[in-house]
Structure 1
Amino acid sequence: VADKGTHSYLDDDRNENIQIYINGSFHHRSEARISVFDSGFLLGDGVWEGIRLLNGHLVFLQEHINRLYHGAEKLAIKVGKNPKELTALIQKTLDINHMETGVHIRLIVSRGLKKTPYQHPSVNIEGSSIVIIPEYKEANETVNRNGIRLVTVKTRRGTHNSQDPRLNTLSKLNCISACIEADKAGV
């Protein structure tokens, strides 16, 4: 059981055998890899969405797709697929994994491969990388029964003119720092 806060979920053994979509092909979870030269790995240069599948329905799918494309546009990332194609890839990923409900999908789009570890987009040598990770994740109901503990930490999310909190960017360093602070505070 992953039991930290509002994202608490129950472990599911079925996740050990999921197929993950990476740039046009599917890979067993244990074999899923991206290059160390991918912009997402090197710099957190990309966007993501978390999408729920409940009873065969992708919840708020259009809103998630719109936000992903909005974030990609703000970061000048060309997704490389139109929304209809991307939605079809999500469905294909679910179909290959025989998933119908209780699933959390992490949809990730990075700027793609770089020829060298440097931040400027001009050193990218290939188009965007697209990764779709589907996992069975049912909410841990003990959070609803027992509540959660909170603490105020010093770390803050970025402002709209530094790291716009309205965009789901791959760089979540400020959120990770806040989690570490909360852990140190005993929460």
Structure 2
Amino acid sequence: MSRIVYVNGKFVPEEEARVSVFDRGFMFADGVYEVSSVLRGKLIENEGHMTRLRRSLSELSMQSPGTDDEIEAIQNRLITLNKLDEGLVYLQVTRGAADRDFIYPGENVKPTLVLFTQAKNVIDNPIAETGITVKTVADIRWARRDIKTVGLLAPCMAKMEAKAAGFSDAWMVEDGYVTEGSSNNAYIVTKEGTIVTRQVGNAILNGITRRAVLALAEKHNYKVEERLFTVEECYDAAEAFVTSATMFVQGVVKIDGAKLGDGKPGKITQQLRELYIEMALAEVS
């Protein structure tokens, strides 16, 4: 049986889902999105995702397709219809369909709202045991990475460059400093045990999981520094990891040609993953 998806007020089989060829998301990548994780059939940290969605819409002067409660009701309905126990709900808002013009259309054009689910093992992910490898690549994205837009061609190119070189993923680099992963926030752990990640601003996305993990780290007395860090610091790190809504905390065991530690996810990385999973399960219990 195919999934049920939501498109502009209707729950339909995915084969019947349609948006206009004049949709500005299709024409201009004029849209934003969020991905919320699902555990035991319930959304986790969804309030943070809704808050960030509001910010993205506001930064682009884009109308909202509904209230937080209305959107969350759609998310929960999709979880039920698709009998999703573990995975994610993807949500996308575009400015809507209008004749092609670089100028934004008037307020009479309604935004397009699309949601769908994906089943995924987010806790018992075998990669959590082995870790991932990353290749550093040039960050060629635009200057407003703090807005979670659907314009993701540059991250796709980064992932493909990494894959072609035999790596799991890419970390993007600008002026010698790591910005973030292709679809996640990036961290190193120094030999002194300090967790380092880039400070928030227009250069990176302020991850919802990022905020939770940093709060957990500080609560459990880990030293955290939010600052720029270089590729050379990555090579000399004791550990490294990434965070995202669907990866939670994922260890990095190799960066370019540099193997980190014993080639397995580090102790601090594993502890943070366990703490985050514990927090997430408590939220849905």
TM-score, structure 2 normalization: 0.54
Determine helix, strand or coil for the equivalent of 2:146.
Answer: coil
Contact 2:88–2:119 (8 Å) recurs in 1 = yes
- Which 5+ residue runs of structure 1 have no aligned equivalent? 1-15
Q: 1:69-88: per-residue Cα shift (whole Å, max 9, x none)? A: 11001101101311111111
Take 2:22 and 2:104, find their aligned partners in 1: how far apart are those partners? 13
How well do the aligned residues superpose, as a CA RMSD in angstroms? Answer: 1.9
Higher relative contact order (CA 8 A, sep 6+): 1
Pair member with larger Rg: 2
User: Residues 25-72 of structure 1, C-alpha deviation per residue, up to 9 Å, x if partnerless?
Assistant: 012122222111111111111110000111233110100001001100
* Greater strand share, structure number: 2
The sequence identity of aligned pairs, in percent, is 27
Deviations 1:82-116 (A, max 9, x none): 111111121222222233x202110111100012x
Deviation at 1:125, TM superposition (A): 5.9
Contact 1:114–1:125 (8 Å) recurs in 2: no
TM-superposed CA distance for 1:118, in Å, is 2.4
Output the CA distance in 2 between the equivalents of 1:186 and 1:166: 29
Distance 2:92 2:78 in 1: 13
Deviating runs (4+, > 4 A) in structure 1? Answer: none
1:8 maps to none
Residue 81 in structure 1 maps to residue 66 in structure 2 = yes
Q: Normalization by structure 1: what TM-score?
A: 0.81
Distance 2:150 2:121 in 1: 23
1:13 matched residue in structure 2: none
Match of 1:169 in 2: 149
Equivalent of 1:179 in 149, 152, 159: 159
SS at match of 1:153: strand
Q: Which residue does the alignment assign to 1:113?
A: 97
Asked whether the equivalents of residues 19 and 27 of structure 1 are also in contact (C-alpha less than 8 Å), the reply is yes
After superposition, the C-alpha distances for 1:158-182 in whole angstroms (9 at most, x for unaligned) are 3xxx3x2222101112211211221
More displaced, 43-52 or 140-149?
Answer: 140-149
